[in-house]
Amino acid sequence: MLPRKRAVAGENNGAAAASKQPRPGGKRHVAALILARGGSKGIPLKNIKMLAGVPLLGWVLRAAVDSDMFDSVWVSTDHDDIEAVARTWGAQVHRRSPEVSRDSSSSLETILEFVRLYPEVDVICHIQATSPCLHPFHVKEAVEMITEQGYDSVFAVVRRHQFRWKEVKKESGELTVAFNLDPVHRPRRQDWDGELCENGSFYFGTKEILQKSGSLQGGKIAYYEMLPEYSVDIDVDIDWPVAEQRVLRYGYFGRDSPEVVRLMFCNVSGCLTDGRTYLSASGEEMVSLNGKDATAIRKLQTEGVEVVLLTSDTDPLSPALAERLTKRTGCKVLQVGTQPLELLETVIKEKQLDWKDVAFMGNEAVDVECLGLAGLSAVPKDAPLEAINGAKYTCHSLGGLGVVREFAEHILLQKQKAKAQLAQDRIDRLHF
């Protein structure tokens, strides 16, 4: 689906258009800047709260980094935990001063401090951390409007079809009036273009126009229109579950996200089970298997995804237990060493696949390499921090308590998205 995009140019408060000439010795330095203060009042530490398995900040950082449009990507923060997450997702960190970290501090004050401390930056691309459905193509096209089309500032909007009325205070005695419609002749939606509203995803501008007009919206201005499905903003707790469903369907999951998963590797201990082995009175080994996980595995198999279960040589299953697990799930059980990467790469090559075609579910530090390479990867909620940081998705469930089903549903949703996009691409080609 192609994004709708319209640009309008004009002078804001008489500010002159900034020079488009690059600095001596090279092109202009374009920097992405995400403001992430630790003192959010609506949702404590909102910027690093998990949304659909990824820290909120991670969604926009992934889009910014993968756009390949920035000379540097920064997070401005006053909080140690936010700094750690920012660095994990590939950003540099500006520790803002206490003067711009107060509840009353404005975004503009924080941006001006950043520009003052980093004078090499020529174009500031302020991306809001609360816009998790941002994609690299949004960023690329908006930046090019400044670097190639000659605009001084570009900001994101969405088209709304909402009728607006003037607010009336009870004590005023005034009558309410309509702002944007004639109540006697209400237009049909298809006969009305609607209105463009800022969606808060980003505000890009040159340093020159920021310093001249005191705003990132000045000089020769353009708007960038985003489709409604990408226009998600999170302010209060009630927004969170709605945003999570939207992100799962329309979010950006990385440049290596597969079109269709063909093979899934899943650790038995700590993922398919809770990591415990039980002994019967006769000395027979037993594990607890969640029926919902077994059902999800069969669903993946009917959708063409082969599932291979992994056990470690430090935590092996007995041959009898492995055989029973195979019968119960229909999956091959493969024993790997403390470094599973080499053996799994051999399996992938034998099946003539690439890592992008693979989903991997692990739960230990030794799984980090595989978690990073796989097109889709996940860990249970109770995985160690190193594994969580290496995964593309962190589940809400604990190991052995439905976590495999949760990841399977995520895989199938991505497959659904790929099919829908393929169908849309075919429709788009018919129109050209």
- Domain layout of the chain by residue ranges: 30-250, 263-419
* Digit-coded pLDDT (tens) for 152-180: 999 999 999 999 999 998 888 888 999 98
How far apart, in whole angstroms, are the C-alpha atoms of residue 161 and residue 178? 14
- The CA–CA distances, whole Å, from 132 to 52, 215, 350 equal 10, 24, 37
Using the Cα atoms of residue 308, residue 309, residue 310 and residue 311 in order, give the sign of their dihedral: negative
- How wide is the angle at C-alpha 52 spanned by C-alphas 92 and 305, nearest 5°? 110
- Give, as one character, the DSSP assignment of residue 274: -
Mean pLDDT of the chain: 85
State the pTM of this model. Answer: 0.69
* Digit-coded pLDDT (tens) for 224-238: 999 998 998 887 666
- Residue 23 is which amino acid? R
The class (CATH top level) of 263-419 is alpha beta
**Where does the pLDDT of residue 410 fall: very low under 50, low under 70, confident under 90, or very high at 90 and above?**
confident
Segments of 36-135 assigned E as strands? 50-51, 54-55, 72-77, 92-95, 123-127
The active-site residue out of 6, 95, 186, 328 is 186
Kindly report the length of the chain.
432
| Residue 324 annotated to the active site | no
- Give, as one character, the DSSP assignment of residue 118: -
**Mean pLDDT for the stretch of residues 196-223:** 94
Q: Which residues pair with 315 in a beta bridge?
A: 312
The CATH T-level fold of domain 30-250 is Spore Coat Polysaccharide Biosynthesis Protein SpsA; Chain A (3.90.550)
382: which residues sit within 8 A by CB, 6+ positions away? 363, 398, 399
**What is the structure's pLDDT at 9?**
44
* Digit-coded pLDDT (tens) for 349-367: 999 999 989 999 999 999 9
Of 427 and 317, the structure prediction assigns the larger pLDDT to: 317
